[in-house]
Every structure is written in C-alpha cells, then in structure tokens.
Amino acid sequence: MVETVELHGEEQRSLLSDSNNGDRSWRLNFEGFQISSEHMEKQVKPSRGLHDCYGVLGQGDNIAEYYQQQVEVLEGFTEMDALAERGFIPGMSKEERDKLARSETFAIRLSNVANMVLFVAKVYASIRSGSLAIIASTLDSLLDLLSGFILWFTAFSMQTPNPYQYPIGKKRMQPLGILVFASVMATLGLQIILESIRTLIYSDNSFNLTKEQEQWVVGIMLSVTLVKFLLMIYCRTFTNEIIKAYAQDHFFDVITNVIGLIAALLANYVDDWMDPVGAIILALYTIRTWSMTVLENVNSLVGRSAAPEYLQKLTYLCWNHHKAVRHIDTVRAYTFGSHYFVEVDIVLPADMQLQEAHDIGESLQEKLELLPEIERAFVHLDYEYSHKPEHAQAHS
C-alpha cells in the first residue's frame, strides 16, 4: 500500500524560520531543534541494569532509541539542505570513491571465488561421509554460489540497457531472478526433508564413519567454517549493501557448517537418527531464510511505500527547493524493484510563466534523482490543491 503525505500551505508556513537572512527566510529551518551534546550523552548512554543480560529494553533504552531517531531525522534534513543549496550531495572525492569501488569489487570477487572452492570441498566431504546433514549444509553453499551468479548476471543485464524494448530499464530483473531461484531452492530443501524423513522411518543403523573418513570430514568442515568466518569479518567492514549481503551469507554458512558437522559426529558416536534430524533442521533453516528473501523481493515489486522518515526528507527537500512553491500537495515514494519511484505534486502561483514553472519542476526532478535510493522522479505542477488526487484507484 502506497502512503501519501499531504501538507497544506497554512501548516507549512507555520513552520517557516523567523531568521532575517534575506531570501533564506522562506525556508524551513530546524536549527532550533538541534539536540545538545550534553543532553545526547545523557539520553543515548543511559545506565544499564540486569536487563542487559536478558535482552529486555528498559525505559532508558526506549528514550535513547527515540533520541537516536531524532538525530537521524536531523541528519537527513542536513543532507537535503546540502542538496538544495549545492545541487549535489557532499561526500568522498573521486579518488576516494574509485579506491573504495576497487576494494568492494575485490571483496565480491574474493567471496565468489571462496564460495566456489569451498563448495567443491563440501561436495567431497558429502561424498566421503554420506551424511544428510552435511549434504544439507552443502546445499546451502550451493544457494550462495548460485545467488552470486544471479546477482552478477542481473547486474550485467542492467548495465546493457535497451531504451526501445525496456524504456524504464531492467532493474526489476534482479528481484525476479531471486524469486525464480528461491522457488527452485525451496523445492530442493523439501526434497532433503523428505529423504531425511524416509531415512528416519526406514533406518537400518548403517551410518558409520571410519577414522580416515572422520578426519577428512572434520578437517574440511572446520576449514570451510574458519574461512567463512574470516570472510564474514572482512565483508562487515564495508557499507555497500551487496557486500553486507555477502557478509550475512557467510554468517549463515558458519551456522550451517557447525550444525552439519555436529549432527554428523553425533550420528557417528551416539545414534543414527541425529544425522537426518540435523538435515531437517538445516533444510528448514534454509527454506525459512529464502522465504524471507522472497517476501522482501515481492514487496519491492508490488510497490511498497518508503518509510515515513524518508518521506519527511523528500518533503523537506521539495519545500526548500524554491521560494515560489506555495504548497506541497502530495509526496509519494514506493519501490519499483531495488529503488524508489517518487511522485511529487507541488503548487506554484497561477500567473507564473510556463518557462519558469517548467524550470522549477525540472530542477526539482534532477535533485530528487541525485539521491542514490531513487531511480526515477516525477514532478507534477499545479496552481491549486483542492482537487481530487490524480490517478485515483478505481473501486468496484
């Protein structure tokens, strides 16, 4: 469901700054709402009690979270001020961006190569042991390998636009590919569960590892787990969303590898049924993880609204864009793949010349599309705000 923000002229004007800085007096000003460092130190770092040990939030934690949210809102407004005044978002220099891009590319390639090598090692461990739990863990590694391939393929496809066949780009290919891939992986997970149940029902107590097999399996699984743990730490040093996703996948691999190895050893030394039970746990864990991914990508395709805090930032930018803006009728931001589509309705004076109105709307569109989360922005110009909303949904 797409949220709509409606801010009318009287409400907007009541928020205007009282400063006398020439033509800046028409802008929204939040300087009077800045939180002092002393107050932040007191609120953001409250005294903690025994609830730390039990994961229970106390009153101080709720207050700290509230003030942290306010700080993030003010930081977002500061970013919009820079965009409104300078026409760009301040950040790193070109050299720093190029260096960071090379580091991110290296991290992605290192993760992909490691996934390929470690997958081959786990396939060998699965063949040597015959353990269903280790096979299920190997399936999870296959997920990581194929998902990396899908990300690479969709990224390559998106970099080869065809404005005639795909006039708005091909960025929806990535969530669509993930949906298809997740469906296949869910089917494989169900197959693992069915095979494990069959083994539980018709078990012949034949699971037994020789000393040599055990040494190979333990050595491979521990080595894979260690490499994945180190990759997880390395990838978490980046802020890139794709690399953070790789870090999360490495963390999941650490968990599945440990569970698979423990289940195989318990089945070897205690009882056979522990191996298929471990495989069922891993298969359910894999299906649950990818189900969450499916839901996330479905929401991105059907057009889920942006968070209210993000809509606040966009509204703030629109109002501070030009002093001729009389009202902001509507601000919408909704997912259309991995990025947002934005629709803005602003009200300008009725007697303004078309050329001037056009330039105001076009420059606002360009500012909005400079934000990294926005793929396309549409700015609608009007001279009043009492009409019914455009593009109203039809009701049966």
Q: Are residues 104 and 189 in the same domain?
A: yes
Q: CATH number of the domain at 155, please.
A: 1.20.1510.10
Q: Are residues 153 and 63 in the same domain?
A: no
Lowest-confidence region among 36-40, 233-237, 341-345: 36-40
In a domain, 69, yes or no: yes
Reported confidence tier of residue 301, pLDDT bands at 50, 70, 90: confident
Q: Does residue 347 sit in helix, strand or coil?
A: strand
Q: Give the separation between CA 31 and CA 271, rounded to whole angstroms.
A: 68
In a domain, 389, yes or no: no
- pLDDT of 160: 74
Of 257, 286, 301, the last residue of a domain is 301
Q: Are residues 129 and 270 in the same domain?
A: yes
Q: Give the separation between CA 121 and CA 223, rounded to whole angstroms.
A: 10
Q: Give the separation between CA 242 and CA 111, rounded to whole angstroms.
A: 11
The packing angle between helices 274-302 and 241-269, to 10°, is 160
In the predicted model, what is the mean pLDDT of residues 156-184?
72
In the predicted model, what is the mean pLDDT of residues 259-274?
82
In terms of Cβ atoms closer than 10 Å to its own Cβ (0-12, 13-18, 19+), residue 163 is exposed
In the predicted model, what is the mean pLDDT of residues 13-36?
53
- 327, 9 Cβ separation under 8 angstroms: yes
Question: What pLDDT digit, counting tens, does each position of 34-89 carry?
Answer: 555 555 554 444 444 444 444 445 555 677 776 676 677 667 767 776 666 666 66
Task: Please provide the DSSP assignment of 130-152 as one string.
Answer: --HHHHHHHHHHHHHHHHHHHHH
Count of domains in the chain?
2
pLDDT surpassing 80 at residue 95: no
Q: Give the separation between CA 214 and CA 264, rounded to whole angstroms.
A: 9
- Domain ranges, residue 361: 5-89+305-382
Q: Are residues 78 and 133 in the same domain?
A: no
Highest mean pLDDT: which range of 34-38, 168-172, 342-346: 342-346
Question: What pLDDT digit, counting tens, does each position of 100-140 carry?
Answer: 778 877 887 888 888 888 888 888 888 877 777 788 778 77
Per DSSP, which regions of the chain are E strands? 5-7, 327-335, 340-347, 374-382
In a domain, 355, yes or no: yes
Handedness of CA 220, 226, 227, 229 (dihedral sign): positive
- pLDDT of 151: 66
In a domain, 16, yes or no: yes
- 294, 179 Cβ separation under 8 angstroms: yes
Q: Are residues 105 and 139 in the same domain?
A: yes
In a domain, 392, yes or no: no
In a domain, 393, yes or no: no
DSSP state of 33: G
- 250, 229 Cβ separation under 8 angstroms: yes
Q: Are residues 287 and 323 in the same domain?
A: no
Percent of residues, the chain, with pLDDT higher than 90: 12
- pLDDT of 38: 53
Q: Are residues 332 and 365 in the same domain?
A: yes
Half-sphere exposure of 77 (CA within 13 A, CB side): 17
Q: Nearest Cα to 126, choosing from 192, 52, 198?
A: 192
Q: Give the separation between CA 365 and CA 173, rounded to whole angstroms.
A: 25
pLDDT surpassing 60 at residue 218: yes
Q: Does residue 287 sit in helix, strand or coil?
A: helix
Q: Are residues 329 and 294 in the same domain?
A: no
Average pLDDT, the chain: 75
pLDDT surpassing 50 at residue 12: no
Of 252, 282, 301, the last residue of a domain is 301
Of 283, 301, 319, the last residue of a domain is 301
DSSP state of 27: S
Q: Are residues 270 and 169 in the same domain?
A: yes
Q: Give the separation between CA 368 and CA 317, rounded to whole angstroms.
A: 8
Q: Are residues 277 and 233 in the same domain?
A: yes
Reported confidence tier of residue 345, pLDDT bands at 50, 70, 90: very high
- pLDDT of 67: 67
In terms of Cβ atoms closer than 10 Å to its own Cβ (0-12, 13-18, 19+), residue 213 is middle
Question: What pLDDT digit, counting tens, does each position of 198-216 carry?
Answer: 877 876 556 677 788 788 8
In a domain, 141, yes or no: yes
Q: Are residues 70 and 204 in the same domain?
A: no
Task: Please provide the DSSP assignment of 87-119 as one string.
Answer: SS-----HHHHHHHHHHHHHHHHHHHHHHHHHH
Q: Are residues 243 and 350 in the same domain?
A: no
- pLDDT of 21: 41
- 83, 372 Cβ separation under 8 angstroms: no
Task: Give the Cβ contact number of residue 314 at 10 Å.
Answer: 24
Residue type (1 letter), 112: N
In a domain, 209, yes or no: yes
Q: Does residue 330 sit in helix, strand or coil?
A: strand
Q: CATH number of the domain at 62, please.
A: 3.30.70.1350
Lowest-confidence region among 67-71, 365-369, 373-377: 67-71
- pLDDT of 248: 77
For residue 81 the two structure tokens come to 């001020």
- pLDDT of 7: 42
Q: Nearest Cα to 136, choosing from 322, 304, 267?
A: 267
Reported confidence tier of residue 304, pLDDT bands at 50, 70, 90: confident
- What strand order describes the sheet that includes 340-347? 5-7, 327-335, 340-347, 374-382
pLDDT surpassing 50 at residue 311: yes
Reported confidence tier of residue 326, pLDDT bands at 50, 70, 90: very high
